[in-house]
């Protein structure tokens, strides 16, 4: 029997980016907030210090910062006619665990989505006609978000200033800015800090892309170019290019993370309580099923507690947001046979994978001297920035020389035809290690009625609850898109001076064992129609109005860019609605 605790105002399930941000804003209003984090507490000092933090075997290969998939895995299959099996080692994506969540081990690539992304179906139908989407694929379930870029802009701005993002504006209030990205959505003001120094590989890309008429710009980064103090009064330091961002925590206070930009202020609040090593099992509902009464969780000693709360915020990794809804019986689970139900529907991912450009031995790239978000890139092929009318697909990718590390276990590019082991392989690694540029293609993932998340009928976690089951493969539309852009990017590689350019592009079937991206989106999507969304435009559950599901799970489909910036903006957007509307008059913020 669970031990019943004293009721509180707010509980967050997970204390990562969204969990710490929501807790901070709501604690400022005086509410009693409890953060339940399944992983361990950790901080820059002492947990992230060198040399222990630069242990490539421990963090990159054995993935020490990720969700423990002995206790809690995800099962996977490519299509509904297959039997899903548990992913016992993380491969394609890396859900973090521990205080700060995945916002600790991220690369710091901090983008905004474009204007068209939020009104995607409307935009595509207006530009290309109503029949165009059907021609791209009969199974595509693209939809609008229910919120617009203009509505989110102030919240993007606020989030970037929280992080201290280093970048160069390309469009301030409609005025194109030299040196920035001319395709970017209009922003109210410049980035808080200037862009990072351009790398040599970035300069080579800039030249090659410029020669072909494209528009290179410096990648926006949350690994800062200079010291910065954010509006919460927390100081960040300048990145030293150690090359250990993604899969690692920053030892230098240079990367924005909950530990650097949120938690020191939050943890001082007397009305905030952090409880780590606490695994939430479910959200409890009252007899009507329309109101949450709190959550049930298990602590590290195995003791079960019931924590009553007026407001429950699901602020876990996107996949776990969806699982929590399914485990709690909130919202109707999606059924791919009938197309009915919403929880688990429109699970999307990210199309990644660009060419490898092999250079002459006289060109020294020094890939180890790196930061996680220090690329030079173009948006000429992002989203709907180019005419799709004759192409038979929707979507696009950004393209850039973005090399996040030259770590010895992971980074050893060799040209096609090199044997995968032995003397010849070793010689090729030595020849190419310092003379190779990786180009990233990174883009949209189109929602399909065939791809979804559900509870696994067979496999269970350490607490006896069904694992999340992922059914996913890239729609043909996304393959055509990626392959079209792959051809263009080979030309850039040659223009950079590449002697051999190994072509990139996304292929089917999707392989869950090879790292691609941790941008798992959708499954609890936002929208204006309860028939096609789980949460309304304020991320409030249609069916249980005192539960909000916050994060990448709310994306109806995934856009071109890394999702952290948009998650941050959406979180602030939802928080304003909670503070200014919901708390004054609890209940549905939008009438279904």
Span from 42-50, 98-106, 315-323, 429-437 in contact with another protein (CB under 8 A): 42-50
For residue 453, the cross-strand partners are 470
**Minimum distance, C-beta of residue 265 to another protein, in the bound complex (Å):** 13
Q: Using CB under 8 A, which of the segments 81-89, 235-243, 406-414, 566-574 binds another protein? A: 235-243
Site string for another protein, 43-72 (x = CB under 8 A): xxxx--xxx---------------------
Cβ distance to another protein smaller for residue 47 or 528: 47
Please tell me the distance from the alpha carbon of residue 366 to that of residue 372, in angstroms, as a whole number: 15
What is the nearest approach in angstroms of another protein to the Cβ of residue 224? Answer: 10
Q: Which stretch binds another protein (CB under 8 A): 128-136, 158-166, 250-258, 483-491?
A: 250-258
SS3 122: helix
> Is residue 251 near another protein by the rule CB under 8 A?
yes
Vertex 351 angle, CA 386 and 567, to 5°: 90
Q: Which of 163, 524, 87, 512 is nearest to 315 (CA)?
A: 524
Min. distance of Cβ 199 from another protein in angstroms? Answer: 16
Q: Is 53 helix (H, G, I), strand (E, B) or coil?
A: helix
Question: How many positions of this chain bind another protein (CB under 8 A)?
Answer: 16
Closest CB 400 distance from another protein, rounded Å: 25
The residue within the footprint of another protein, chosen from 29, 237, 434, 532 (CB under 8 A), is 237
Is 519 one of the annotated active-site residues of the chain? Answer: yes
Give the distance, in angstroms, between the CA of residue 164 and the centroid of all CA atoms in the same chain: 18
User: Does the protein bind another protein through residue 513 (CB under 8 A)?
Assistant: no
Q: Does 227 bind another protein (CB under 8 A)?
A: yes
Contact stretch for another protein (CB under 8 A) within 152-160, 233-241, 540-548, 555-563: 233-241
Q: How far apart are CA 216 and CA 218, in angstroms?
A: 7
Instruction: State the minimum distance, in angstroms, from the CB of residue 255 to another protein.
Output: 12
Per CB under 8 A, does 238 bind another protein? yes
Which residue's CB is nearer to another protein, number 301 or number 423?
A: 423
CA-closest candidate to residue 221, choices 252, 187, 192: 192
Annotated catalytic residue within 105, 123, 442, 519: 519
Nearer to another protein, 254 or 502 (CB): 254
Cβ-in-10-Å burial (0-12, 13-18, 19+) of 308 comes to middle
CB-nearer residue toward another protein: 239 or 285: 239
Strand, helix or coil for residue 324: helix
In the bound state with another protein, the residue whose beta carbon lies nearer, of 260 and 517, is 260
Per the CB < 8 A criterion, the answer to whether 297 and 326 are in contact is: no
Of 44 and 279, which CB lies nearer to another protein in the complex structure? 44
Tell the residue number behind the tokens 């996913």, with chain if given: 472
CA nearest to 394, candidates 427, 462, 443: 443
Q: Shortest distance, CB of residue 99 to another protein, whole angstroms?
A: 13
- 3-state DSSP assignment of residue 286: coil
Q: Is residue 408 part of the contact set for another protein (CB under 8 A)?
A: no
Q: How far is the CB of 266 from another protein (least distance, A)?
A: 15
Shortest reach from residue 264's CB to another protein, in Å: 8
Return the closest-CA partner of residue 520 out of 591, 453, 420: 453
The full DSSP string for 498-513 is -SEEE-----SSP-TT
User: Rounded CA gap, 21 and 25, in Å?
Assistant: 6
Q: CA 432, 434, 439: angle at the middle one, nearest 5?
A: 80
β-bridge partners, 86: 75
CA distance 235 to 265: 12
Q: Which of 240, 430, 462, 592 binds another protein (CB under 8 A)?
A: 240
How many other C-beta atoms lie within 10 A of the C-beta of residue 233?
A: 8
Q: Considering beta carbons, is residue 238 or 483 the nearer one to another protein?
A: 238
| Minimum separation from the CB atom of position 260 to another protein (A) | 9
For tokens 């802009």, what's the residue?
A: 153
Helix (H) or strand (E) holding 487: helix 476-495
111: tokens are 């983008």
Q: For residue 226, state whether it binds another protein (rule: CB under 8 A).
A: yes
Please report, as residue ranges, which positions from 347 to 406 form the binding site for another protein (by CB under 8 A). none
- The reply to whether 166 sits near another protein by the rule CB under 8 A is no
Q: Which stretch binds another protein (CB under 8 A): 73-81, 110-118, 237-245, 438-446?
A: 237-245
Tokens of 488: 């263009």
Of the candidate spans 8-16, 62-70, 247-255, 320-328, the one that interacts with another protein by CB under 8 A turns out to be 247-255
Binding residues vs another protein (CB under 8 A): 43-46, 49-51, 226-227, 235, 237-238, 240, 251-253
**Which amino acids are annotated catalytic?**
519
């Amino acid at each position: 029997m669970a031990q019943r605790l004293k009721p509180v105002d707010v509980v967050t399930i997970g204390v990562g980016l969204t969990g710490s941000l929501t807790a901070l804003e709501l604690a400022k209003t005086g509410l009693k907030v409890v953060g339940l984090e399944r992983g361990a507490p950790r901080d820059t000092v002492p947990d992230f210090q060198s040399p222990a933090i630069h242990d490539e075997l421990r963090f990159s290969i054995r993935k020490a910062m990720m969700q423990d998939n002995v206790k809690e895995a995800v099962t996977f299959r490519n299509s509904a006619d297959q039997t899903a099996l548990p992913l016992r080692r993380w491969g394609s994506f890396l859900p973090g665990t521990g205080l700060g969540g995945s916002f600790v081990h991220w690369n710091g690539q901090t983008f905004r989505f474009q204007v068209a992304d939020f009104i995607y179906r409307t935009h595509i139908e207006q530009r290309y006609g109503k029949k165009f989407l059907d021609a791209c694929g009969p199974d595509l379930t693209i939809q609008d978000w229910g919120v617009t870029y203009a509505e989110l802009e102030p919240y993007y701005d606020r989030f970037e200033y929280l992080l201290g993002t280093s970048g160069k504006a390309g469009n301030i209030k409609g005025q194109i800015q030299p040196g920035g990205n001319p395709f970017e959505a209009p922003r109210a003001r410049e980035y808080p800090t200037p862009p990072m120094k351009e790398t040599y590989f970035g300069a080579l890309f800039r030249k090659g892309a410029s020669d072909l008429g494209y528009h290179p710009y410096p990648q926006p980064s949350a690994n800062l170019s200079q010291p910065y103090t954010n509006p919460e009064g927390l100081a960040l330091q300048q990145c030293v290019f150690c090359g250990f961002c993604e899969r690692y925590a920053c030892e230098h206070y240079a990367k924005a993370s909950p530990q650097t930009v949120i938690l020191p202020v939050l943890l001082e609040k007397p009305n905030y309580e952090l409880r780590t090593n606490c695994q939430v099992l479910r959200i409890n509902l009252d007899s009507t099923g329309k109101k949450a009464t709190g959550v049930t969780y298990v602590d590290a000693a195995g003791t079960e507690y019931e924590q009553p709360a007026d407001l429950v915020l699901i602020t876990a990794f996107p996949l776990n947001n969806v699982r929590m809804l399914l485990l709690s019986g909130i919202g109707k689970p999606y059924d791919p046979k009938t197309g009915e139900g919403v929880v688990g529907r429109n699970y999307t991912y990210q199309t990644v994978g660009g060419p490898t450009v092999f250079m002459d031995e006289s060109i020294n790239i020094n890939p180890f001297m790196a930061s996680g978000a220090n690329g030079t890139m173009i948006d000429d092929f992002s989203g709907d920035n180019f005419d799709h009318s004759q192409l038979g697909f929707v979507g696009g990718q950004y393209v850039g020389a973005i090399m996040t590390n030259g770590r010895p276990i992971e980074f050893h590019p060799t040209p096609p035809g090199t044997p995968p082991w032995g003397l010849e392989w070793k010689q090729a690694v030595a020849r190419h290690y310092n003379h190779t540029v990786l180009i990233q293609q990174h883009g949209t993932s189109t929602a399909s009625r065939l791809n979804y998340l559900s509870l696994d009928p067979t496999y269970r976690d350490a607490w006896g609850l069904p694992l999340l089951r992922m059914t996913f493969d890239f729609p043909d539309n996304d393959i055509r898109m990626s392959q079209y852009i792959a051809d263009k990017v080979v030309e850039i590689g040659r223009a950079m001076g590449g002697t051999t350019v190994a072509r990139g592009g996304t292929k089917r079937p999707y392989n869950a064992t090879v790292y691609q991206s941790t941008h798992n989106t959708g499954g609890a999507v936002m929208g204006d129609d309860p028939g096609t969304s789980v949460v309304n435009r304020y991320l409030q559950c249609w069916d249980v109005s005192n539960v909000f599901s916050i994060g990448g799970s709310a994306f109806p489909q995934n856009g071109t860019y890394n999702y952290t910036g948009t998650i941050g903006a959406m979180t602030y957007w939802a928080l304003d609605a909670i503070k200014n509307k919901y708390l004054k008059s609890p209940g549905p913020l939008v009438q279904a």
